[in-house]
Chain A
Amino acid sequence: MINIPVLRWGEPYESLDTDEVIHHRTGEVLAKVGQANPGLLARDMRKAKLAREALREIPIKDLVEMMKKAGDLYLNATLPLGDGEQSPNDFARQQSASTGLPEHMCKFNMEKNHFVLNNMDQILDALTRGLDIDILQRGFGVEERGVPVSYQAQSPVLGMVLPSNSPGVHTLWMPVIPMQIGLVLKPGPQEPWTPYRMFAAFTEAGVPRQCMSIYPGGGDMGAETVARCGRVMIFGSTQTVKQYSGNEQVQVHGPGYSKILLGDDVVDQWEDHLDLMADSIYKNSGRGCINCSGVWASRHTEEIAEALAERVGRYEVKDPTDPEAGLAAFTVPGQAEAVWGMIEEGCEENGTTHVTEKHGPRLEQMERCDYIRPTILHCDSPDLKMANTEYMFPFTSVVKCPQEKMIEKIGGTLVASAITNDEAWAAQLTDATNIDRLNIGPLPTIALNWLQPHEGSIVDFLFRTRAYQTPDERLKARCGK
């Protein structure tokens, strides 16, 4: 059992209030995590500018190299953690034990994080659209096309209110440090592992420890993080998304409602895309916002649902250490039962059919955690309650909907994979503002290109581009152009 302290600008703070992180199957106490109180964060935020100042002492290109080194350390090294240390295998075991995600998926997530850190130069280049990185560092400069430009940081730090159930989201904040912005992290209660391991890897790689704070705590700490940081990224429900809608200080990552849309021109060959559909639904435990939660087509929907049910419905619950385990546990007591209750209620509506029913019961309850096996529904209308839902396990509704109504009826969609060769429809999809990431062609919803923005560019969120005029001589003297 490890004791993990609060980190106040890199300095450990032993809180008198602790929370236990528990193994979801055995009940073993994996760690005691010090809990911060909102006042600590409020006071520390007075020193937030020092975090950015410390980072601005280091050229961005050096920070990028530190990220690469940190990536290797994160993936391969035994690093300090609280009053103990943690090997890469310990990390995967602990993360799996507290979040319910199978161990091999935790290891896969480690590789994903490593990839992002290790390719930070390309990722920054992509996120800034090829901006000379010195411009970001200096705050102004001259673009390749000869136009002066200024990028102004909108906050010395980025606050992150992180979730417990999805270790994949950490890739979003990794480019922040090399952009010379500090980090204030409020970890999810069951997933303190990644923030602390990243902190250890960053500092070991040379990043100044005073540029990061980690404040574990309850809902009040999340609210304080939102209230005190000039820019905040949070993860939450549709209600959370609505709550912060229009608030330019807050970037909310809500449910994905990601979908595969089969165009009328290809739907008769739906069987060719069955693997792609199954992978989008099931891979990485179906928990991510980029996992598919809806397959939409104008015809053959009953057959598609039957085939998907046949393909994914048989997957069984396996021990999280089993390399074949594909399902993640629900570790919050009562949550799986409540989710299954909602699904059963939704299936009572005329036109909604539970297609995986014949493959055995879905809800599996254990002593300390529960599972729901992959579930496929069929909805014969896009207006049914279950036509547009998302749950944190492999779940998909196959929805019958005319192609011409699809864009309107799918609602907000994080990833839409539209399989079509119909360029007129593709053009309409390109214009649809309710779709964030758009794939045209046979691409799974889970296929991410790391060089492209995710739910808005983090550069645009953290920096404001603005006019900047100064005599040519000064520009030349400062920028060499």
Chain B
Amino acid sequence: MAELDQKIQEARAQLDAHALEIVKWHFSPETGCPFWLDWVSKTDWNPVQEITCFNDIIEKFPHFEDEWLRDLQPEVWVPNEFKGQPFNIFETGGTTGMPKQRIGWNDYKVDYSEFSDSLNDEEFPRNHYWLMVGPTGPRRLRLSIEHLANVRGCSCYFVDLDPRWVKRLIGEKQFDQAKAYMEHVVDQATTIMKHREVSALFTTPKLLESIAERLENEGSSLYEAGIRGVFCGGTTMDPQYTRFLVEELLENKIGFKPTYGNTLMGLAKHKPFTPEDKFSITYHAPQPRAVLRVVNPDTDDLVEYEEWGRVELTTLTREFFMPRFLERDEAIRRPPIELYPWDGVAEVRPFGAMQKKIVEGVY
């Protein structure tokens, strides 16, 4: 316990130092971006002088507004240090209308290179082939997965899924069309798996179910098709569903890495399962580059451990500063662990999932 406490304190100190550095970077004219420099010119306080630790960010900054990422042109987010360097424009998830956009240069590579360290070579063999079946298009995920594969000496096949179209079909109750689209995606995925050697699969839970069912109906299985490791993310995975995926589809033989990530945060790692977890998935943000908090939606205060609250994200990199963004997710707050000595977020699901029916579709 004393060792964990020590690690928690070290992680906290690292976060405070990093927060200080990033605030200084974004609010200094030599390095900062037009958006934050303009923002600070209209306030009566100076973050460079007044932010001394991460908690100051929570106490002094308002919630980041997602409209800023929809309404403003991307160049307002270019830090002076990156001026003149072409950037990637990444868009968020499956919403319709003008999407949120985040620009970037290397952040995704940093996140996913680090994530590679949490994978073992048996489940995710090096120098082999991966398959991603999920949202590619304008999403950061597509480049990130390819980078992650490349870091491990692998190459990656891709089958696209357009979540915006799926949500629209479901929203309009065109269930037959949604099903047909899903079949179309599964057709492509299983065709690759039959004709090429693939050992790692990145996909959404629903697509994983459909791919496994297709293979099993044809007398095969994910394992027999050569899959040894699966990344799964994108929609809710409650403990029972996770257990179903691990025990029934992956037959306890295929490595399972649940993932929680998005264009604004990067990629959170999950706490390796122990029997006590009873398949409850806990994610830990890639601190200090991003911090996840679980807050009471009415008071903004942290909820107690094991209580539900809304997920709040703060991103702290030289490419992007985003304080206290309220995600459209809710989760259970979990305590730090040895491996990740900072708070975790567990059993993530759409915010208000208990109150209303959320369209998640296949994504």
Q: A residues engaging B (CB < 8 A)?
A: 15-17, 35, 37, 39-40, 42-43, 46
Contact = CB atoms under 8 A, between A and B. Distances in A.
A39 B216 contact: no
B240 A42 contact: no
A39 B209 CA distance: 7
A43 B240 contact: no
A40 B213 contact: no
A436 B239 CA distance: 46
Contacts of A15: 240
B245 to A, nearest CB: 8
15 contacts: A15-B240, A16-B239, A17-B240, A35-B240, A37-B240, A37-B241, A37-B244, A39-B241, A39-B244, A42-B213, A43-B213, A43-B216, A43-B248, A46-B216, A46-B217
Interface of B: 209, 213, 216-217, 238-241, 243-244, 248-249, 278-279
Given A42-B213, A46-B216, A17 B239 contact: yes
A16 B243 contact: yes
Contacts of B278: 16
A46 B243 CA distance: 20
Contacts, number: 28
B240 A16 contact: yes
Given A35-B240, A39-B209, A46-B216, A16 B279 contact: yes
A16 B243 CA distance: 8
A43 B241 CA distance: 13
Contacts of B279: 16
Contacts of A42: 209, 213
Contacts of A39: 209, 241, 244, 248-249
Interface-central residue, A15, A35, A37, A46, by most chain B CB under 10 Å? A37
A15 B248 CA distance: 13
A35 B241 CA distance: 11
A17 B238 contact: yes
Contacts of A37: 240-241, 244
Nearest to B280: A16
A35 B244 CA distance: 12
Given A16-B239, A42-B209, A46-B216, 16 more contacts: A15-B240, A16-B238, A17-B238, A17-B240, A35-B240, A37-B241, A37-B244, A39-B209, A39-B241, A39-B244, A39-B248, A39-B249, A40-B248, A42-B213, A43-B213, A43-B248
Contacts of B240: 15-17, 35, 37
B284 to A, nearest CB: 22
A15 B241 CA distance: 9
Contacts of A16: 238-240, 243, 278-279
Nearest to A223: B175
A156 B104 CA distance: 56
B61 to A, nearest CB: 38
Contacts of B249: 39
**7 residue pairs, one from A and one from B, having the closest CB atoms:** A17-B240, A16-B240, A16-B239, A39-B244, A39-B209, A15-B240, A37-B241
Contacts of B239: 16-17
Nearest to A34: B240
A46 B217 CA distance: 8
Contacts of B217: 46
A395 B203 CA distance: 53
Contacts of A43: 213, 216, 248
A37 B249 CA distance: 13
A17 B238 CA distance: 8
A15 B239 CA distance: 9
A40 B209 CA distance: 10
A481 B279 CA distance: 61
B216 A40 contact: no
A226 to B, nearest CB: 12
B230 to A, nearest CB: 15
Nearest to A42: B213
A3 to B, nearest CB: 15
A292 to B, nearest CB: 35
Contacts of B248: 39-40, 43
Contacts of B243: 16
Nearest to A15: B240
A39 B244 CA distance: 8
Contacts of B209: 39, 42
A136 to B, nearest CB: 30
B235 to A, nearest CB: 13
Nearest to B209: A39
A17 B278 CA distance: 11
A40 B217 CA distance: 15
Contacts of A17: 238-240
A91 B23 CA distance: 65
Nearest to B238: A17
A43 B248 CA distance: 8
A296 B32 CA distance: 81
Nearest to A43: B248
A267 to B, nearest CB: 46
Nearest to B249: A39
A45 to B, nearest CB: 10
A16 B247 CA distance: 13
A43 B209 CA distance: 10
A333 to B, nearest CB: 14
Nearest to A18: B240
A6 B240 CA distance: 12
Nearest to A40: B244
A41 to B, nearest CB: 11
Nearest to B241: A37
A15 B278 CA distance: 11
A42 B209 CA distance: 10
Nearest to B179: A227
A17 B243 CA distance: 10
A42 B244 CA distance: 12
A46 B279 CA distance: 25
B313 to A, nearest CB: 27
A247 B357 CA distance: 27
A46 B214 CA distance: 12
A298 to B, nearest CB: 43
Nearest to B208: A39
A29 to B, nearest CB: 18
B140 to A, nearest CB: 29
B252 to A, nearest CB: 15
Nearest to A38: B209
Contacts of A46: 216-217
Contacts of B241: 37, 39
A160 B278 CA distance: 31
A16 B278 CA distance: 8
A37 B248 CA distance: 12
B281 to A, nearest CB: 12
Contacts of B238: 16-17
A43 B221 CA distance: 12
Best-surrounded residue of B209, B240, B244 (most CB of chain A within 10 A): B240
A398 B243 CA distance: 55
A56 to B, nearest CB: 24
A90 B238 CA distance: 33
